[in-house]
Structure formats: C-alpha cells, structure tokens
Amino acid sequence: MRIPYKIFEASDRPGGRVFTYEFARSQSPGKHDYYDVGAMRFPDNEANKKTFELFKELGLQGKLIKYVMGRDDNIRYYNGIKKTAAAASTAGDHFKDEIVPKEYLNKEFVDLRDKTVYGVDACTAQAYDPFRKALIDNFDKGWEELMKYDWASTRSYLAREKPSYPLPVIHWMETRNSGTGGFDQAFAEDILDSLEFDDPRKDVQWKCLEGGSKMLIDAMVAQLETKPSYGHQVTAVKLVYPPLFECFPNLPHRPHRFPLMKVSVAGKGDGYFTHVISTSTFANLSTIDTEKVPMTYIQRQAIRTLHYGPAVKVGIRFKTRWWEQGGLTQRGGSSYTDRPSRTIVYPSAGLGEAGPGVLMATYNWQQDANRFGALIEKSDWSKQLDPSRKRPWSEEILLDLLYSDLSTLHGVSVKQLRADTLDYHAFNWYHNPFTMGAYAHFAPGQFSTFFADIVQPAAYGRFHFAGEVASAHHAWVAGALDSAVRVVDEIIRWDFPLLLPRFKGEYGRSVVFSDEKSAEAGFVRGLFSQELEEAEV
C-alpha cells in the first residue's frame, strides 16, 4: 500500500543535521576532501540497531569503515601538562592535589566491565554505574529510579547525592568529560548519553561511512518516489474542517466536512493533508504558527523551552596529513585539552594517505561552542566556499587560536600549519537558521515534565512530533529512526488499523514504550490530550 506524501524542506539540501561538507578541490585534489559537520560516527550496539538495519536495507554495508574512537597515543593536554591517553587513564592526573585532593586523583573503582579505572574515570563510574546497571537490568525500573533525580543537573547531583563530591572535583570531572557548563544540564541526559558511548554489555565496534554521512542521506533520497520540495518554508499549520471539494477539487462537489491539516508554505500557497509530521527541531517549530493545532499546555511549553546543545566544528584542509607523519602517530581517535579547541578529531578515513587531508581542528560543545561561535561569521550549508575568499577578521582570530592549540599539542610550528593550509570551514549549529541548535540536551526536570507529551500525537492524532528530540536517543540518527517507527504506528492506528499487525511484525515498537499496552495508551492519550488536561485542572 502506498500512502501519498509531500516533504517540505526549508533549505536547499536534504539531511538536516546529517551534513557532510566537501571542500573545493581546485588545489591538490585528494581522496577525502570532506568532513562531517553533523552526524559522523555510528556505534554498532543495541541502541543503534535501527541505523545498521537501514544501512543494510540501503546496501551501504560496503561503505562502512572502521571509525577509530580512540588510541592510546592520542593526546591529553590539561593545565599545561601533556600526556598520552594511556598514561592519563592510570592513577594520577593533571591537577595539583591542593586543588583536587589526592584521594580523587588516585581513586580506583571497578566498573561494570570488571575493569579497574582510575582518577576521573573512577569518580565518574562510581556516580554513574548504579544507574547504568539499573537501566541495563530492567529499563522501566531503572528509568523510574533515574526520574527520582530528574530535578538535578549533573553538577547538583554529584554535589548533593552520593558520592557527594567537592565542587573542585566536579569541575575537574566536567573539564575531562564534557563541554564547559555541560554539567548544568540534566543528570538523566548524561546517564543515557554514557550508555550510548560506553555500553558495558559488549565491545562495541564504531563505524563511519566512506564518503561521509551524506552517503546515507543520498541513498535515502534515491529511494523516494516523491522527492523533497526544497526552499519550501512552512509558516503555519492549522487543523481545519473545510468542505472536501475545496481541498480536493477532483472529488464530487459534496458538502461533507472532514478534519484536515492545512499547511501554509511561504510564497507557495496552502496544502491540505490528513496528517502532518514535524521533523524540525523544536527551536524551529517555535517559529511556525501552530496556534490552531490543538495541543496540550505541556506540548507548547516543550516547544518553547526544551534545551538544545550548542556545537561548533571547524575543519581545516591541509596539504599533508601531518598528524600522521614526522614522528606523529595520530591515526584516528581524538585528543582532548582544556585549551580553547577542547577536542581535536583525527579522520578515520584515508589513514596513511600522503594527503591532502582534512582535520577536525575543534569539536566544541556548550559554553566552549558559544564562545567560538561568536567568531564564526555565518553558518551556511548552502554552498561550497571559494578557497581564495577573503577571510573575516573574526575567523582569522579563530584560526589563530586553533593553530596555537595544534602547535602546542603536536609540536608543529604555527608557521608550518599556516603554510600547509589549503582551506577551512567553520560551522556553528546554534547560528544555523534551519536548526537553531545541534541536538536535544534536556535541562533538569525536562524529561519528567515534557517527555511523555512529546511522544504522543496532537490535534486529535493528526499532528506528530518526530526527530531525535522525540526519542530516547538524543543526538543520534537512531533516535530519529525510532521516532519514525512511533509516528507511522500512530498514523496506522488512526487510519489503517487492519494493517497494524503487519507493521508491528516488520518494524516492531518504538523503544520509548515498554510494551504494546503502553504504546496504545500513549496514542489514545494523545487523541484526547486537551480534554484530559482540562479535566485534571
């Protein structure tokens, strides 16, 4: 059965936050003249099962290559002290014991893998592992326990609850494990995120796509019978009850009225649909007039207030892969520092090539990203930049900072780095008008207050929230795919109930529901959400 559809895309490209930037190749073309500004790596674990199923369905297994998450010789540079990742993971750290007491610097803890970890890793494991284990053993019970602390930011939980760390220790942990200010967001978010990156149930293989993550988007678009309508900015969505012949002129002129969703597109007119699926970020959704879409108060508050994390990436295209040469051995993985660049990501594609090569000179989050973002003139994904363009003065400052950090960490002169540079690309996700943020990263209290309402439909089952924000896997392609399963389930339940068993057999159930009963209850609650909310007042 084929259901007709239209995809309205405000920008001029598909993919959204799956965005691979390809450098102009007028100078010294190479095999890997790109970097992933958005989604860039995929762990082959239970949480990302749907993503790998999609790779298989689209015939992309041959494009999957190993993504190097880390190497023992990656660099750790904190407080002016340089170590390898292997040396930094053992007892002791980069802090003086009068700032961070020795008992924490030299702390040992046996984590969920039965591995002894030290220092900051031990402090983190002691605080996180009880919740991680509870979620692994029984997700529903573990979630219930975690929600008891949804009031807490990571910083407040670590300070007030066991193991009650001193504030200097918490600042030290944040510096090593997050962006500056990252611990001010929900403790629950950090617990879920830690399971995505470090699932103790198996040794996870990480993958990326040869050619960049755009290969996934290109393959998906190729499968569409109706291609997206680009440059179509939705300005308003309304639930209306017009005579059917006004919306569908080819039907016999009968006065029957039927609930429809009216979608207005800037400069393009209106369209009528039985269902609308919003895959935009809630930040962008807040710019669309949805006043005439029946929603709960909580859903409207969620659209206005849900927190999205800032992120900045800067890719520099060099003549050579100097980080792999001249005694340097950074073949993949990431180096971390408390200097402004914070995280440097070495490409996993093209290991050992002579060059040119593209280095992700910084991948920044939270306050670190906001500060770098102030130096980026425009976050534009609409065109390939001219390598000979005049650089804005603020981006010259940005490059100066990055060159200085690269020089300090790797022992390569700034002069050499400048001479070796062919081009650069800087992108600030919070200043991109099509996303207004990088990924959902909930603030304290937002899971327990909003989450149940954003995973149920509005407008009596005809308006649906999709995308990673409406999932249990924030910031992951897997989250968007899981939300798609839920939304299609909602539409089938409403319009094609006889097809539901077949759909369930092929695609299962969204992981935000523990069983079929809770999935059905969420759908029914969405149908009558306004009435139920009013009855509770």
Task: Please write the tens of the pLDDT for every residue from 165-177.
Answer: 999 999 999 999 9
Q: Alpha-carbon distance 221 to 215, whole Å?
A: 10
Per-residue confidence (pLDDT) for residue 26, from 0 to 100: 73
Residue 94: is its pLDDT beyond 90? no
Question: What tokens appear for 222 in the block?
Answer: 């190729």
Q: Each residue of 14-29: pLDDT tens digit?
A: 999 999 999 997 777 8
Question: What tokens appear for 15 in the block?
Answer: 């993919």
Does the N-terminal peptide bond of residue 310 adopt cis geometry, omega within 30 degrees of 0?
no
Q: Alpha-carbon distance 33 to 355, whole Å?
A: 9
Please list the alpha-helical segments (H only) found in 138-213. 139-147, 154-160, 167-177, 187-197
Which fold is adopted by the domain 85-197?
A: Guanine Nucleotide Dissociation Inhibitor; domain 1 (1.10.405)
Q: Is beta strand 439-440 parallel, antiparallel or unpaired with respect to 34-36?
A: unpaired
Find how far residue 471's CA is from the centre of its chain.
11
**310 near 50, Cβ under 8 Å?**
no
* Least confident segment among 252-261, 276-285, 516-525: 252-261
Per-residue confidence (pLDDT) for residue 90, from 0 to 100: 77
Of 115, 108, 132, the residue nearest 197 (C-alpha): 132
Q: Alpha-carbon distance 440 to 17, whole Å?
A: 12
Residue 295: is its pLDDT beyond 90? yes
For residue 210, give the H/E element and its range. none
Looking at every residue in the chain, the average pLDDT score rounds to 94
- Give the residue-averaged pLDDT of 306-331: 97
Phi, psi of 445 (to 5 degrees): 85, -10
Find how far residue 337's CA is from the centre of its chain.
22
Question: What tokens appear for 54 in the block?
Answer: 């999609």
Indicate the residue type of 521: A
Q: What is the DSSP string of 80-97?
A: TEEEEHHHHTSS--SS-T
Question: What tokens appear for 484 in the block?
Answer: 């798609």
Binning pLDDT at 50, 70 and 90, where does residue 341 land? Answer: very high
Q: In the 3-class helix/strand/coil scheme, how is 383-415 assigned residue by residue? A: CCCCCCCCCCHHHHHHHHHHHHHHHHHHCCCHH
239-246 CB contacts, 8 Å cutoff, 24+ apart:
239/292, 239/293, 239/294, 239/459, 239/460, 239/462, 239/463, 240/272, 240/292, 242/272
Per-residue confidence (pLDDT) for residue 95, from 0 to 100: 58
Provide, rounded to the nearest whole percent, the portion of the chain with pLDDT above 90: 85
Binning pLDDT at 50, 70 and 90, where does residue 248 land? Answer: low
Query: In 29-173, where do the E strands start and end?
Result: 34-36, 42-43, 64-66, 75-78, 81-84, 108-110, 116-118
Per-residue confidence (pLDDT) for residue 252, from 0 to 100: 58
CB within 8 A of 502, min separation 6: which ones?
none
Q: Alpha-carbon distance 308 to 437, whole Å?
A: 5
Binning pLDDT at 50, 70 and 90, where does residue 98 land? Answer: low
**362 near 342, Cβ under 8 Å?**
yes
Beta bridge partners of 209: 64
Per-residue confidence (pLDDT) for residue 132, from 0 to 100: 97
Binning pLDDT at 50, 70 and 90, where does residue 230 land? Answer: very high
Per-residue confidence (pLDDT) for residue 254, from 0 to 100: 55
Q: Domain boundaries in the chain?
A: 85-197
Q: Each residue of 99-141: pLDDT tens digit?
A: 899 999 999 999 999 999 999 999 999 999 999 999 999 999 9
Per-residue confidence (pLDDT) for residue 247, from 0 to 100: 64
**122 near 130, Cβ under 8 Å?**
no
Q: What burial letters (b/e) apply to 146-165, b meaning 16+ CB within 10 Å?
A: beebbebbbbbbbbeeeeeb
Residue 253: is its pLDDT beyond 60? no
Per-residue confidence (pLDDT) for residue 246, from 0 to 100: 63
